[in-house]
Amino acid sequence: MFTRDEALDRVERAGSATDLFGPFDPARRKEAQQLYRRLAAVLHPDRVDAGDTRAHAASAELTRLHHEWQHAEPVELHTAGAVYRLTDRHAVGSVANVYRTDGPRVVKVARDPALNPLLHAEWDALRRLTRFTAQHRWLRPFYPHLVDTSGDVSRGDRAFTVLEPLVDGFVTLADVRRAFPDGLDGRDYAWMHRRLLRAIAGAHRIRLVHGAIVADNVLVHPQKHGIVLAGWSFAVTAGERLLATSKAITYPPEVHDGHPVTTATDVHMAHTLMLDLLAHDETRQRRFARWCTQDAPDRRPDAVDLLSEYDDLLDDLYGERTFRPFALPTGA
């Protein structure tokens, strides 16, 4: 049972029907109905003082929100062979939003039809990675899995991509950074960077440049020490210019100068990220990262060579590798 104040707080703070009742989903109708009844019981005009105008207003608002929730249909997106019903929004990206569905997949929807070409570029990159990892299966877990796409859409419609969900247990490297404002212990960043380097070196074997290696695009599974390099909509083949750039991203000099990007561009970005994530006193790892972020692209080492270079450094610093549990602080 709610008190009057608790019920008021719930209703007044809800910015929308889903805020109050959770994601639209026919299977959750009963749950929403129960919450509605419990709140209505406390706020009903018969139960509060005649002059309690705040409660009267909240009661009317509660009824309105419940009506809205009951009548909202989850958005349906159709592809050539399937229908996806979006439920709640999972994340907001740089060009698209990622939604959960009432099924097992997530759907990434362009925020603006003008951004559709970027989603097309990502389909191309993910398909190339799928073909590549068919032969190199151990690399598959490092990349998102494309399940389905909108294909070409009508003018004014937004393209979308259906992906395998990376939801349970995953956070982004941006979440990790927020959780550790003083930076990470080098031993924790070590496993993340080793795996990130593998993802990057793998893509480079097919001449694919990610072009946006930033904290939001690196998904981390702290418990399983998993890393997935996501956000491939800026990807191009080495030697091409980026299709677009983002104001939110710090790029290496060649991008600012409008030159084509190369695999060295990714090497720069991955190690800028490393400098951003590592604690300030991680002197040796930071020195390694600076070696990889030199202004001249041809001075930066290749990702493939960095795999062993980085392992040598870790060996030197920490000796034999052991599993070091990692978790975000509770509440982060």
Ligand X SMILES: Nc1ncnc2c1ncn2[C@@H]1O[C@H](COP(=O)(O)OP(=O)(O)OP(=O)(O)O)[C@@H](O)[C@H]1O
Cα distances (angstroms) measured from residue 160 to each of 114, 129, 151, 176, 264: 13, 19, 8, 28, 30
Is 213 an interacting residue with respect to ligand X (CB under 6 A)? no
Q: Which of 213, 215, 230 minimizes the C-alpha distance to 165?
A: 230
Q: Which is nearer to Mg ion, 217 or 263 (CB)?
A: 217
Q: Which is nearer to Mg ion, 11 or 219 (CB)?
A: 219
d(CA 283, CA 167): 34
How many residues lie near ligand X (CB under 6 A)? 25
Which x/- pattern over 228-267 shows residues binding ligand X (rule: CB under 6 A)?
A: --xxxxx---------------------------------
Q: Give the nearest distance from C-beta 56 to ligand X in angstroms.
A: 41
Q: Give the nearest distance from C-beta 129 to Mg ion in angstroms.
A: 16
Is 117 an interacting residue with respect to Mg ion (CB under 5 A)? no
Q: Which is nearer to ligand X, 183 or 231 (CB)?
A: 231
Residue 273 contacts residue 214 (beta carbons within 8 Å): yes
Residue 148 contacts residue 79 (beta carbons within 8 Å): yes
Return the residues of window 215-244 that contact Mg ion according to CB under 5 A: 216-217, 231
DSSP 111-152: SSGGGHHHHHHHHHHHHHHHHHHHH-GGGGGGS--EEEE--S
Q: Which is nearer to ligand X, 108 or 286 (CB)?
A: 108
Three-state DSSP state, 228: strand
**Which one of the spans 192-200, 225-233, 259-267, 278-286 is the region binding ligand X (CB under 6 A)?**
225-233
Joined tokens for residue 78: 């159709």
**Which one of the spans 31-39, 88-96, 153-161, 189-197 is the region binding Mg ion (CB under 5 A)?**
88-96
Return the residues of window 35-94 that contact ligand X according to CB under 6 A: 90-91, 93-94
Q: What angle do CA 127, 130, 136 make, to 5 degrees?
A: 150
How many residues lie near Mg ion (CB under 5 A)? 5
Query: Which DSSP symbol is given to 218?
Result: E
Q: Which of 22, 23, 93, 103 binds Mg ion (CB under 5 A)?
A: 93
Residue 119 contacts residue 233 (beta carbons within 8 Å): yes
Q: Which is nearer to ligand X, 180 or 288 (CB)?
A: 180
Q: Which of 313, 256, 252, 259 minimizes the C-alpha distance to 282?
A: 313
Return the residues of window 7-26 that contact ligand X according to CB under 6 A: none
Is 216 an interacting residue with respect to ligand X (CB under 6 A)? yes
Residue 4 contacts residue 48 (beta carbons within 8 Å): yes
Q: Which residues contact Mg ion by CB under 5 A?
A: 93-94, 216-217, 231
Q: Which residues contact ligand X by CB under 6 A?
A: 90-91, 93-96, 98, 106, 108, 122, 144, 163-167, 172, 212, 216-217, 230-234
